[in-house]
Amino acid sequence: MARSTLHPDSLLAHAGGGSDPQTGAVVPPIQPSTTFVRDENYELISSGHLYSRDDNDLFRKTEGLLAALEGAEDSRLFASGMAAIAAIMRTVRPGETILLQSGIYWGTTVFFRRNTERTGVRLVEVDATDLDALSAAISEHSPKLVFLEVPSNPFLKVADIRAAADLAKSCGATVCVDATAVTPLIMKPLALGADLVVHSATKALNGHSDVLGGVVSTSRKDSPDWTFIAQERHDAGAVIGSFEAWLLLRGLRTLALRVERMNANAQAFAAHFDAHPKVESVLYPGISSHIGHDLAKAQMTGGYGSLMSLLVKGSKADALKVTGALNLFQRATSLGGVESLVEHRETIEGPNSGIPGTLLRLSIGIEHIDDLISDMEQALAAF
C-alpha cells in the first residue's frame, strides 16, 4: 500500500515512513552534527546538508509526518510553541494590524501585547466566538493577521474557524489557528479555511512532558507568509535540537493511542462532574451543556481533546484546597502528557489575567478513569 493512502494511525506507528534506507534500522538515527564537510572541489558531500539550522533529516522526516497529519503543504519545527508563534507574529509589518482572540493562553496574549507595543504593529483583541464582534473588528481594522486558539486555554471556548476564514477574506488577512489542545487527529484547521496552524509540540504531540518544541504548518507553501516563516526559522535560528526532534518523532508514534485514551477519559470525567454539587461548571466542549458543543462537534472528529477546566463552587481558597488534596493528579503546569495534571491557573498567570480564582485547569492523561474520578471526588470532599 502506498504511503499516501495510509491511515494516519499507520503513518504515526511507522514514524511517517519505513526503515532507514541506509541501514535498515526500524528507529530513525540521530545526527548531532551541526555542520557538514565539502570535498576537494568545495562541493557538498551530501546535497542538502550544509548547516544544521535547516539541514537535518530528522527535522524533515518529522515535518513531513506533521504536514501529512494536518493536510498541509509544508511544516516547520521550532524550538518551542512560543518560538513558532513569534515567527508568525513577525509576518506582520509595522503599521499593520493583528486581530487576536481574547481569553486565550495568557502567555500568547502577553507576548503579543509586549511586542506590538515596541514594533509599531497595532493589536486589537476581540472575542472571536462572537461572530458579530469578529466581523465588526475585521471591517473596522482590516487586519493582516487573525490569530485564533481553538479550543481556547483555559476557558475552552470554540471559535468558528470556517466563518472566521470567510470573514478574513474581505481584507486578505492571514488566519492562523493554535490547535494545541486537540491535535491534528481531532481537528484540521487548514481544511476549515485557515492559512496556518500552530501547535506547541511540547504538549500532546510529544506527550511525555520531556520535550520543548513547536510546529507551524501551511495550506500554501508558495505564500509570502510561508516564505517569511521558513526563512525566519533559518535566519533567527529558533530550531529544535536533534535529540528533541528524535524524542518528538518517537512520541508521535503513539499519538493515536494516547489521544484515543485521553479523549475517552476526558469525556467520561467531564460528564461525571458536570452536575457535581461542588462544581459550578465544567468547561469542556465535549458535553452538551457547553455553549460551543454543537460547533465543536462540527469542527472536530474522534473526540474533543484532553484539556478542560472546572469552576469550583466556593472561593479561591476552596479551589486551592482541592488542588492540595489531589493525589493522582500532579500539581504542575502544561498539558497533553500521559500523566494527569491540575493547575490553579490564576496563581500561575496572576490577577491581571482575568482568570477566576475558582478555576482549576485539568490535563487528562491515560490513567484508568475510575482512579481519576475517585481522586477528584475525594479532593472535592476536602471543603
Distance CA(299)–CA(295), nearest Å, equals 6
The C-alpha cell that represents 87 in the structure block: 515567527
Q: What percent of the chain has pLDDT over 90?
A: 89
- Decide if 53 is catalytic: yes
Render pLDDT for 50-73 as a digit per residue (tens, 0 to 9): 988 988 999 999 999 999 999 999
Query: How far are the Cα atoms of 113, 163, 181, 217, 234 from residue 196, in angstroms, in the given order?
Result: 21, 15, 16, 6, 18
Arithmetic mean of pLDDT, 331-348: 96
Residue 4 has pLDDT above 70, yes or no: no
Helix-helix angle 57-70:242-252, to 10 degrees:
40
- Average pLDDT of 41-49? 91
Per-residue model confidence as pLDDT tens digits over 108-151: 999 999 999 999 999 999 999 999 999 999 999 999 999 999 99
Cα 43 to the chain's mean position, in Å?
40
Cα separation, 22 vs 356, in Å, equals 55
- DSSP assignment, residue 51? B
Task: Please give the single-letter amino acid code of residue 235.
Answer: D
Judge whether residue 3 has pLDDT over 60: no
Task: Express each pLDDT in 170-190 by its tens digit.
Answer: 999 999 999 999 999 999 999
Average pLDDT over residues 4-8: 83
Is 169 tagged catalytic? no
Residue 197, Ramachandran bin (φ over 0: left; ψ between -120 and 50: alpha; else beta): beta
C-beta neighbour count of 154 within 10 angstroms? 28
Q: Would you state the cell numbers that stand for residue 51, as one nine-digit string?
A: 548547516
pTM of the model: 0.95
- With a CB cutoff of 8 Å and minimum separation 6, the contacts of 236 are 87
Residue 368 is given by DSSP the state: -
Say which of 105, 144, 345, 361 is annotated catalytic: 105
Could you tell me the CA-to-CA distances from 155 to 159, 282, 354 in Å, in that order?
A: 12, 10, 11
The span from the CA of 259 to the CA of 71, in Å, is 18
Q: Which residue has cell 463552587?
A: 313
Cell of residue 14, nine digits: 511507522
Residues 6+ apart with CB under 8 A from 101: 125, 126, 127, 128, 147, 148, 149, 152, 159
Instruction: Give the chain's domains with CATH numbers.
Output: 7-252 (3.40.640.10), 255-380 (3.90.1150.10)
| Of 51 and 372, more confident | 372
Average of per-residue pLDDT across 243-267? 98
Order of all β-strands in the sheet with 341-344: 279-283, 307-312, 359-363, 341-344, 330-331
Cβ proximity of 32 and 152 under 8 Å = no
Rounded Cα distance, 252 and 249, in Å: 5
Looking from the CA of 297 toward its CB, the CA atoms found within 13 Å total 10
The per-residue pLDDT for range 200-251, each reduced to its tens digit, is 999 999 999 999 999 999 999 999 999 999 999 999 999 999 999 999 999 9
Is 304:263 a contact under the CB 8 Å cutoff?
Answer: yes
- 105 an active-site residue? yes
* Helices 224-236 and 81-89, axial angle in degrees (round to 10): 130
pLDDT at 1: 36
Residue among 54, 55, 74, 178 flagged as catalytic:
178
Which pLDDT score is estimated for 225?
A: 98
**Can you tell me whether residue 279 is helix, strand or coil?**
strand
Active site residue 118: no
With 50 as the cut, is the pLDDT of residue 339 above it? yes
**pLDDT at residue 268 is higher than 70:** yes
138: cell is 475585521
Q: Which of 76, 203, 258, 345 is the catalytic position?
A: 203
Q: What confidence category does residue 24 fall into, taking pLDDT thresholds of 50, 70 and 90?
A: confident
The whole-angstrom separation of Cα 26 and Cα 19 is: 5
